[in-house]
Homo-oligomer: A and B are copies of this chain.
């Protein structure tokens, strides 16, 4: 899977390399806070090698609907600023150690500055959204923010709950990840002035893609290593955060193995040996494979959402990104 993942990523980067460079430049030029410190903290999270998935999706979704302007690249920064803002607030919630391979912002600059810089980035997103002159985009940002904050609170209060159901997990990841990616795709269609059915199709694509992305993310927390991931491996387990691979495995496990796994989840401290044994049990009881199957189904659904669009390089690109969601390494 390693080399397959690398090759898909390379393919995508070959196609969108120039667009990504433009987006990168727009991210910098739209970041004009009055204070150097704000620029530094915002830069800490923004320029640490994010994938720029959300702005890229917004930009391509606008283009597949017939609009390809430099303005769209500027607009697409909305969803990276919004994403970075939520990362700043979420890392505070989780008190994460690492983010994008660097110490998390709240650990470098303090909780207060991290929270306020998150607010600043949200304001930047909003300001650029106002420039689109589309109230509909504002409505999407409001909805994304509302869902995200509630999803995070929900997740926070689900911590350590070993009886979390698959349906509850799906609700949380929809709110905390899918709505943002869905919003980026939908907004791309809106700024392009797309027809209603096209906008809905791209929104649907984004939603499925977002779900698959989060499932892959939750898998990586057990199957990757810290260097590749850019954040601490096993973090979910340490936070008592039940994700799909664990939910599936717990359901299938023998009584004895389930009890042992539940003990690890509730204790939150464990040795490296415990962790490997935990992952082995997840493998044994189909948690890893089952999650991959779920993600594959969402990826396939995401591609189906695009069926109404005639063949084009952008359609192929959106399909490739969906495939990448499943095979990514970090």
Contact = CB atoms under 8 A, between A and B. Distances in A.
Given A122-B122, A130-B139, A112 B156 contact: yes
Number of copies of chain A assembled together = 2
Contacts of A145: 119-120, 122-123, 126
A146 interface: yes
Given A124-B146, A127-B143, 6 more contacts: A33-B146, A116-B149, A117-B149, A119-B122, A123-B146, A123-B149
A34 B143 CA distance: 12
A119 B149 contact: yes
Interface in A123-146: 123-124, 126-127, 129-130, 133, 135, 138-139, 141-146
A115 to B, nearest CB: 5
Contact of A154 (B35, B122, B142): B35
A303 interface: no
Contacts of A123: 142-146, 149
28 contacts: A35-B150, A35-B153, A35-B154, A37-B157, A38-B149, A89-B119, A92-B111, A92-B115, A112-B153, A112-B156, A113-B153, A116-B150, A116-B152, A117-B149, A119-B122, A119-B148, A123-B142, A123-B143, A123-B146, A123-B149, A126-B145, A127-B139, A127-B142, A127-B146, A129-B142, A130-B135, A135-B138, A138-B138
